[in-house]
Homo-oligomer: A and B are copies of this chain.
Amino acid sequence: MKSVRLGIIGLGNMGLGHADNIISGKVSRCEITAVCDPAPEKIVRFPQAKGFARSAELIHSGVVDAVLIATPHFDHTVSGIDALQAGLHVLVEKPISVQKADCERLIAAWQDPKLVFAVMFQQRTDPVYRKIRELIQSGELGQIRRINWIITNWFRPEVYYKLGSWRASWAGEGGGVLLNQCPHNLDLFQWFFGMPKRVRGFCGLGRYHDIEVEDDVTAYFEYADGATAVFITSTGEAPGTNRLEIAAENGRLVFENDVLTFTKNETPMSEFSRTATKAFAAPATTESRFTFPNHGGQHVEMLQNFINAILDGRPLIAPAPEGIYSVELANAIVFSAAHNQTVELPLDAAAYEKFLQSKVATSRFKRGAKRSPGAIADDLAASYKR
């Protein structure tokens, strides 16, 4: 195999964006040989590819080696399982599923280690996030004590939610800002810090918009080693903030306004505390500032990485099984808020599924209803910010 024959399932904003990157030659050794969407007017944009209305037809067509799943979230599970069982490589958009139980089902379908199974967490290619992770993993930061990430630069006006009745509904999307805008941030959170032991969530359901799901979130995490964290997000705030602060033994790391600042302690804070002889003394510090010329390869790098994994056995930037963690965090926050109590992790997937089913049952959006076209006129790229 010199080139991967790719099928794109779902030609919404994301699917079309990925197709553009491939067709314009940004991804080597990859050709789109099939596309799938219920809308015929989208299919006809790809005369060079076979067109299908249903994902199963594409998966079993014999004209693809791999699929990119970019359907609405709920459909990731079924299409992903079908494709893996058919022996195809799979790259699935985030979130890999809308709830933990579906993630487990999807991951369980991945039985053949020769199949490449990846998730589109393209923010892992951003040099600033790679640098943060490197500072943590190398031990440069020392033990992490407290984290505060305010990521409220996801402002969406009311019209955004009017573009599709499935949007921001329990039945249509399975959740709100945590499932649609934040999977990247929650993935980075677990990529940096691992998973907490307990989660307390506070969610505003339709606080800023006429929607039934969360559009405003504050969450508190506790980790096994005693570290604590606060994660805050919203689609209602303007201007938004993206500020990540990490308080660690060896100093404080802050990312805000595209600058990463490391204020490093000459003596780790706990060691200083134990040995200081003056009651108001504090460790001396030095400051380093890092800036980054770009946001990394993003979607194109992820697509190329997927292709290189298939053809050359290169390691994945984001193996799909890691996609369960961001979903579990999102689910745990929503579950905690709904029950007004702390949730221990691992989350009880069956309990969450039952909860979600009860929400879906009374959702405004009825599954099977015709979806709105969902085409968004203005600049989608503007939403791909850090």
Contact = CB atoms under 8 A, between A and B. Distances in A.
Interface of A: 145-146, 148, 150, 152, 155-160, 163, 200, 202, 204, 207-209, 216, 218, 220, 222, 226, 228, 230, 232, 234, 236-241, 243, 245, 247, 251-252, 263, 265, 269-270, 272-283, 285, 340-342, 376-380, 382-383
Given A239-B252, A265-B238, A273-B209, A278 B378 contact: yes
A277 B230 contact: no
A238 B272 contact: yes
Given A159-B277, A238-B273, A241-B252, 15 more contacts: A145-B237, A146-B152, A148-B232, A156-B279, A157-B281, A158-B276, A202-B222, A204-B228, A230-B230, A237-B269, A239-B282, A240-B282, A241-B245, A279-B378, A280-B376
22 contacts: A145-B236, A156-B280, A157-B274, A157-B275, A157-B278, A158-B273, A158-B276, A159-B278, A159-B279, A202-B228, A208-B273, A218-B228, A230-B232, A236-B270, A236-B273, A237-B252, A238-B269, A239-B251, A239-B263, A239-B283, A280-B376, A280-B378
A234 B245 CA distance: 15
B228 A379 contact: no
Given A208-B273, A216-B228, A160 B237 contact: no
Contacts of A160: 279-280
B146 A237 contact: yes
Given A157-B281, A263-B239, A226 B207 contact: yes
Contact of A157 (B202, B232, B272): B272
